[in-house]
């Protein structure tokens, strides 16, 4: 049995360490503060009795739980990421623990009138009677993915403390910079040495995912001409107004707030500009590879049309692929998904098998030769002030890890 207070305290200890990654720094890790949690985790892994603990020069932590059986079974792995999203601050996280949640609105910050509404975020209602950890409304929580780290460390600790539970060799890894798309870039699959792995990086209880978006970033640079506004007729080119026109030319219904399921989108997430130059940062997403390629071509075509209109290169588009749909790599080894599904059912959890409207380290790792489906970590409303996690979901995720370790010995 996983002790509720113990897992709560561990999670809170992790989220109080600011590990926000930096999308504009090419270094590994992209922010020095990720080392703070990494070093703490090394100490904890030593304390609970893990072996072969290694923190490398790029802030990847790997460790081993040796097999306690006398026959060969596959080596499995569990992976989570250290960093939190740069979309919202993770500094000075002040968590609130709500015991026996009553299903009503939760006041996160009375002074600023910030409320986690159960009518707006109706997923809250399924956790009535449980213990909910929220923010104070001024930061994100960090359940993405410190809930996953908490669950992996707690599961390894439980297996070490209960040697009567039989398991094969287990490898774990905590990666930096997942939130900025680099978490798997320097992951050494050969060194990790697992036959397959699971990322503990999903959302609500029951999620089990082996499909994700194909993903690209797009930087659109628009060049204007500054002239004194009193004498600008026929001379000034205002890059900000052209940027507005460019944005409006994209399909207006194909944005995150108007899509769901397998529907792809264009997402404008940052604008910087003045008359002379405006830079638009987009992400492009689609589960279908053919549609994904069409989206990239459409953005370039719109830019070309504008350049032809102005008879000069007024718009430049730079598109970079980030990751691809791991379905292609997981489908040939579907038994690893089936195993996780069986464990969830054994624990009374209803599996929610669906496509990720995002990506995980597992999508890139699957293409590097390590098949890696994604399992729920329990959190909701990632990347913002309304993020929360039920403690009971973290306990169940921990039990899923232990259950998979047990089931491998019987397959």
From 296, 322, 348, give the residue that closes a domain. Answer: 322
Which of these is catalytic: 18, 44, 157, 178? 178
From 322, 355, 378, give the residue that closes a domain. Answer: 322
Residues of the chain below pLDDT 70: 411
Q: What's the CA gap between 105 and 365, in Å, rounded?
A: 39
Closest residue by Cα to residue 239 from 200, 193, 275? 275
pLDDT score at 245: 95
Structure tokens at 199: 């990322």
Let me know whether 301 and 382 are in one domain. no
Q: At 343, which CATH number? A: 3.40.630.10
Domain count, the chain: 2
Let me know whether 60 and 184 are in one domain. yes
Tokens 């504009």 belong to 24
pLDDT score at 18: 98
Closest residue by Cα to residue 133 from 2, 3, 9, 1? 9
Instruction: Respond yes or no: is residue 144 known to be catalytic.
Output: no
Tokens 């071509």 belong to 297
**Per-residue model confidence as pLDDT tens digits over 201-229:** 999 999 999 999 999 999 999 999 999 99
pLDDT score at 358: 82
Which of these is catalytic: 83, 144, 157, 387? 83
Let me know whether 66 and 178 are in one domain. yes
pLDDT score at 325: 95
**Domain assignment of residue 229, given as a range:** 214-322
Let me know whether 112 and 128 are in one domain. yes
pLDDT score at 411: 64
Let me know whether 237 and 127 are in one domain. no
Instruction: Respond yes or no: is residue 83 known to be catalytic.
Output: yes
Across 244-342, the runs of DSSP E, i.e. the strands, are: 265-273, 277-286, 315-323
Let me know whether 293 and 344 are in one domain. no
Q: At 239, which CATH number? A: 3.30.70.360
Let me know whether 285 and 201 are in one domain. no
**Per-residue model confidence as pLDDT tens digits over 349-360:** 999 998 888 877
From 264, 292, 322, give the residue that closes a domain. Answer: 322
Q: What's the CA gap between 204 and 389, in Å, rounded?
A: 9
Let me know whether 373 and 235 are in one domain. no
The model's pTM: 0.88
Let me know whether 318 and 330 are in one domain. no
């Amino acid at each position: 049995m996983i002790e509720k207070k113990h897992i709560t305290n561990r999670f809170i200890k992790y989220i109080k360490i600011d590990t926000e990654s930096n999308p504009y720094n090419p270094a590994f890790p992209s922010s020095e503060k990720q080392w703070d949690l990494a070093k703490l985790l090394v100490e904890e892994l030593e304390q609970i009795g893990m072996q072969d603990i290694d923190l490398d020069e790029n802030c990847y932590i790997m460790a081993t739980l040796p097999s306690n059986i006398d026959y060969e079974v596959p080596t499995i792995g569990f992976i989570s990421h250290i960093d939190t999203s740069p979309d919202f601050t993770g500094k000075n996280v002040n968590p609130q623990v709500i015991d026996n949640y009553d299903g009503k609105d939760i006041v996160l910050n009375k002074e600023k009138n910030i409320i986690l509404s159960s009518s707006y975020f109706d997923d809250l209602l399924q956790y009535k009677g449980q213990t909910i950890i929220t923010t104070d409304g001024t930061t994100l929580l960090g359940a993405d993915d410190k809930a996953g780290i908490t669950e992996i460390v707690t599961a390894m600790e439980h297996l070490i403390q209960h040697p009567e539970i039989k398991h094969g060799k287990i490898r774990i890894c905590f990666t930096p910079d997942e939130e900025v798309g680099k978490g798997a870039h320097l992951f050494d699959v050969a060194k990790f040495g697992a036959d397959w792995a699971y990322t503990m990086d999903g959302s609500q209880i029951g999620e089990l995912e082996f499909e994700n978006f194909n993903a690209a970033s797009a930087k659109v640079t628009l060049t204007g001409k500054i002239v004194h506004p009193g004498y600008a007729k026929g001379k000034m080119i205002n890059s900000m107004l052209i940027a507005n026109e460019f944005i409006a030319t994209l399909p207006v219904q194909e944005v995150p707030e108007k899509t769901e399921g397998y529907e792809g989108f264009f997402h404008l997430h940052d604008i910087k500009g003045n008359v002379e130059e405006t830079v638009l940062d987009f992400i492009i997403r689609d589960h279908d590879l053919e549609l994904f390629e069409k989206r990239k071509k459409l953005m370039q075509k719109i830019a070309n049309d504008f350049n032809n209109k102005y008879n000069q290169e007024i718009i430049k588009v730079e598109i970079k692929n980030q990751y691809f749909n791991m379905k292609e790599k997981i489908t040939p080894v579907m038994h690893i998904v089936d195993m996780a599904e069986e464990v969830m059912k054994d624990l009374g959890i209803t599996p929610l098998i669906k496509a990720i409207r995002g990506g995980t380290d597992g999508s890139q790792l699957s293409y590097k030769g390590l098949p890696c489906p994604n399992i729920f970590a329990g959190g909701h409303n990632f990347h913002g002030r309304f993020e929360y996690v039920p403690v009971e979901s973290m306990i169940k995720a921990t039990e899923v890890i232990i259950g998979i370790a047990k089931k491998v010995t019987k397959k």
